[in-house]
Amino acid sequence: MDFDKEVIAKSKNVPVVVDFWAPWCGPCQFLGPIIEELAGEANGAWELVKVNSDENQHLSAAYGIKGIPAVKMFHKGEVVAEFTGALPKHEIQKWLDQYLPSEEKELLSQIEQKLIAGDENALGELESFIIDYPASDEGRMLMASSIVLQDPSTAREVLLKVVNRNKFFEDIQRIEEMADFLEADISVDSAVGKKLGAAQEAFKNNDPESGISLLIEAVTIDKAFMEELPRRAAVAFFQLIGAQNELTKKYRRRFDMALY
């Protein structure tokens, strides 16, 4: 087969799902008809290409196939998702729903990148996106995480409209944890209370670096204060911004050291 033509080139126009299989493979015989049925139901939204691993060992080696059936999704010439083993139809459909590219996903990704870059218009674009795609829980989650530091009350309201809460359970928890901290009534009579009060103000004034620095100072003074509020807030903040954020890289180790 001409893999470059049938998969790589074609995937630049439409997603291509490749099923690596072999005639002797029992699980492949189970998976094959299911994924073929799904491809037929897709009405051209994606295409299926089946690759006999025995006859195309060079392709199996090139794409790191260690067990079959192995399914890989190609988009714009690259592998964007994959799974190994014979999954039931509903699990494969869930996988397709999660990873198949769409105009909605691409638009939301572009908005997210603008938010990360600090584009002043990005939040307005996100609001418009949610109006245009009212069923997008992903859009609401991005909105809640983007505004929680400055407007925790509105972030909570946005979270209430998320339908598939189980899917976003951990993300919802960290946003609510951050909102709890920002809305907490903290007595500033003590040293740790003063640090936490200042941290609240820093976050609300769009100064997250001062906010996390003050939280770490509060942890150093009394990490058990108000049922470990300083520690819980710092953890929620780091989870909220992600491991690759520059503030995480700069302050996470300092926070870990403050705990011990």
Instruction: Pick the catalytic residue from 17, 28, 87, 226.
Output: 28
In which element (H, E) is residue 80 found? Answer: strand 78-84
Q: How far is CA 26 from CA 32, 86, 166, in A?
A: 10, 9, 34
DSSP, res 121? T
Residue 223: active-site member: no
8 A C-beta contact, residue 53 and residue 63: no
Q: Which of 16, 17, 18, 25 is catalytic?
A: 25
25 is a catalytic site residue: yes
CA distance 151 to 140: 14
Place of tokens 């494969």: 92
Q: How many CB atoms lie within 10 A of CB 40?
A: 9
Q: By three-state DSSP, how is residue 191 classified? A: helix
Distances from the Cα of 231 to the Cα of 79, 151, 217, 256, angstroms: 39, 21, 10, 10
**Residues noted as catalytic:** 25, 28
